[in-house]
Amino acid sequence: MESPLNVVGFAKANMKHDVEEIIQGILNHPTKQRAIELAPKLIFAEYLRELAENTYLIVRVMIRKNENDNEEPDVTVYDCDALVKAEYNLQLQEVHVEKIDEDDEEDTDYYVVCEEKETSMEIVFVLQNTIEYLEGVRKGESIQEVNIVGVASEGTIILPIEKDEEEERIEKEERDKLRAIIQKMKDGDEEARELLEKEEKELDLQLKERLKEEDFLTVMSGYFMPATFEDAVYAILGDITKIKQRKNKLTDEVMYVLTLAVNDMPMEVVINAKELIGMPTIGMRFMGTCWVQGQVIMG
């Protein structure tokens, strides 16, 4: 479930000893740290090192105290991962947090399953602020907001699709129509379920017909699709609406933070400039593969 470190400015950290050196540096000089007791004599800790604005490396450590308190505890490095905070929160609904292995007290891997409110798109992402979530649960708090970001391993800048006002109007009407049907289906309308199936079949047929004569990227203006069944990895295509640059303080490597519109859903993606093909420009499209991670805000 770990995102590759090169995404946040460690393109050269490929050898094991390089990663071990990075981990040791974070443990010795963290920007912030937090810990929680999972069980008697079992402590889970997170050490964060700031690399750039809203961009960190996080090292997770499991500490098991010995029966004899005079002995040094056993410390196991759990993982080292990129952690990027989104700049704004998505409007989500039906948020569920799921532990990977409920029977393992030492397992701190959690997925969050949710639905984007405007598009009804289901999103699965890796929870990054695990300790804040667990502390909130113990206090009886609930999830108030969620923010997510795509941590891209590779990407390409491609041309936008030329559309006139009439084509954009028709597309918007179709999306609004589908949202209305999905909402009725959620409210228990069985006719809406049948109507949705009919609409999906018609769209599928239209897509197949167009693909006989047109290139895939001229037919699909955007998509957000699971690329694997594990690890919350998605293939993504969307219009670039905002661009920022960040520089890793330790390596001076540059990252792009791209805000995308993916079929009306806003999505932030961060990528190492060395892994991006083409120059990002507002109005162009980004196509790539990313790990989707995020945080829950408790209250």
91 confidence band (pLDDT: 50, 70, 90): confident
Pick the more confident residue, 216 or 265.
265
pLDDT above 90 as % of the chain: 43
Place of tokens 């950290």: 13
pLDDT of residue 254: 95
Residue 229 scores a pLDDT above 60: no
pLDDT of residue 1: 44
Residues 129, 279 contacting (CB under 8 angstroms): no
Residues 112, 100 contacting (CB under 8 angstroms): no
**In this structure, what DSSP letter does residue 226 have?**
E
**In this structure, what DSSP letter does residue 275 have?**
G
Q: What is the dihedral of CA 86, 91, 95, 101, to 10 degrees?
A: -20
> Model confidence over 36-54: pLDDT tens digits?
999 888 999 999 999 999 9
pLDDT of residue 215: 61
Residues 48, 58 contacting (CB under 8 angstroms): yes
Residues 128, 293 contacting (CB under 8 angstroms): yes
> Model confidence over 173-210: pLDDT tens digits?
766 766 666 667 667 777 766 776 676 667 666 656 65
Helical (H) or strand (E) element with 64: strand 55-64
pLDDT mean across residues, the chain: 83
d(CA 104, CA 18): 30
> What predicted TM-score, i.e. pTM, was given to this entire model?
0.81
> Model confidence over 150-167: pLDDT tens digits?
999 899 999 887 766 666
- Across the range 96-124, mean pLDDT stands at 82
Q: Where are the beta strands (DSSP E) in 118-275?
A: 122-127, 143-158, 223-226, 233-247, 254-262, 265-272
What are the Cα distances from residue 68, in Å, to 44, 89, 128, 190?
19, 46, 33, 63
